[in-house]
Structure 1
Amino acid sequence: MNLRKWMTLFGTTILIGGASSLIAGIIMLLCDSSFQVVVKTGNDWMFNVTMMALAGLTFGAFAHMGFFAYLMLNYIARSIIKKPYYWVALQGFVAVFVLAEIGYWTYDSAFPAATFWLIPLALAAVSLAVAWWKVKETTAGAWIPTLFYMIAVTTIEAMPGFQSGKITSLIFTLIPLLVCNTFQIMRLHRVLSKPHASASAVSANASR
């Protein structure tokens, strides 16, 4: 990892955040005309679309901050906890706890009644799909860390949406964060790979 790769990852992440928010916002706006990012100028459709894109850029930057925080946490935890499987087990426990906590937050709240089970189920399903994809491209050891990152870190980043009490705000917050976090966790092993080493291996195999 060098500065150029890091800045490329950051720039791509915020652009993905802007694009995913724009797409999700337009779909929500078409399905529900009452959905507005800016209530004050709610009749100005184009202004709301512009604000959706700008909000998405913010989500992308926030997601990258969360990604950096997770990498630092993982580095510190692995330095302090001598037995790696303890840290892995702790991440698995926290991921399950967070899903249960989401149900607790949203049960009997301003959110629709089905939110308390639908949001944790959807978040778990997306996280499992991403973890499976990550394991397919790396190793089986990526299962729990990926689930922890996709569930716990995404939930922390989406706290403003949970605090809003509005399902539309929560969905509009969660979608770009999930997209950005999926991109970052799937991009990490590619960024850290050594192309020259791969090229040497290919050359060696070709010479046999």
Structure 2
Amino acid sequence: MNLRKWMKLFGTTILIGALAAAVTGLCLLVADPEFRVIKADGWLYNIVMMGLSGLTFGAFAHMGFFAYLMLNYIARSIFKRPYLWVALQGFIAVFVLAEIAYWTYGTNFPSNTYWAVPLLLLVLSLIVAWRKVNETTSGAWIPTLFFMVAVTVVEAIPTFRTGNISSLIFQMAPLFVCNAYQIMQLHRILDRAGTLKSAA
């Protein structure tokens, strides 16, 4: 990856974050007119502010993406047998899903949050992983699931402390979209899609 590709990925990611946050925020405003990112009246102003917040979400997701790439590089040098690192990623992904249920059960979140959020996150992550596998190899299943589940949740940890489901959705949705975009672009940026398919 050269500087030009990195800048393009970063720029596109934050723009996607802004768009995803604006769309998510608009949907939340329709469902809950009291939802606000800042204490101000006016839908248009709030949507603009949500879009600006999305730029931050995109930048944060980009930081998480490169943190994962570094972690993956280090872990692959530590674990001499690749399947051990893959198995660990699978275990952590399951653990994080269980942690979501633990964090949200019996809190100010709606009563069904403890199972609905982990289930929805898992289903959407499986869809992204399925697409990734179709474009690369079957070995991408667990790493993609790990990234989409664990990294997204780590990036969204502050909102789990709010007890507000609208705030949780507003932050997690753009982060998930940005992470999905980045993980799907990785093999294209590295020009490995064709090589991986031929090796499968």
How many Å apart are 1:194 and its aligned residue? Answer: 6.5
Instruction: List gaps (5 residues or longer) in structure 1.
Output: 199-208
CA distance in 2, matches of 1:64, 1:192: 17
Aligned residues: 195
CA distance in 2, matches of 1:161, 1:170: 5
Residue 71 of structure 1 corresponds to 69
Query: SS of the counterpart of 1:164?
Result: coil
Using structure 1 for the length normalisation, give the TM-score: 0.91
Q: In structure 1, give the amino acid aligned to 2:85.
A: W
How many Å apart are 1:44 and its aligned residue? Answer: 2.7
Change (3 A) 1:194 1:141: closer
Deviations 1:19-43 (A, max 9, x none): 010011011112210111112x2x2
CA distance in 2, matches of 1:71, 1:140: 19
Deviations 1:143-195 (A, max 9, x none): 00000000000000011211111000000011101100000000000000069
Deviations 1:94-150 (A, max 9, x none): 000000010000000010000000000000000000000000000000000000000
Residue 56 of structure 1 corresponds to 54
Larger Rg: 1
CA distance in 1, matches of 2:173, 2:69: 22
Matched, 1:159 2:157: yes
Q: For 1:177, which of 154, 170, 175 is the aligned residue?
A: 175
Instruction: List gaps (5 residues or longer) in structure 2.
Output: 196-200
Q: Which runs of structure 2 are paired with 1:32-111 in the superposition (5 Å)?
A: 32-39=32-39, 41=40, 43-111=41-109
Cα RMSD of the aligned pairs, angstroms, is 1.4
Q: In structure 1, give the amino acid aligned to 2:125.
A: S
Residue 201 of structure 1 corresponds to none
Matched, 1:4 2:14: no
How many Å apart are 1:93 and its aligned residue? Answer: 0.1
Shift >6 Å, 4+ stretches: none
Q: In structure 1, give the amino acid aligned to 2:156.
A: A
CA distance in 2, matches of 1:51, 1:45: 10
Using structure 2 for the length normalisation, give the TM-score: 0.95
CA distance in 1, matches of 2:174, 2:52: 12
How many Å apart are 1:47 and its aligned residue? Answer: 2.0
Deviations 1:11-66 (A, max 9, x none): 00000000010011011112210111112x2x232221111001000000000000
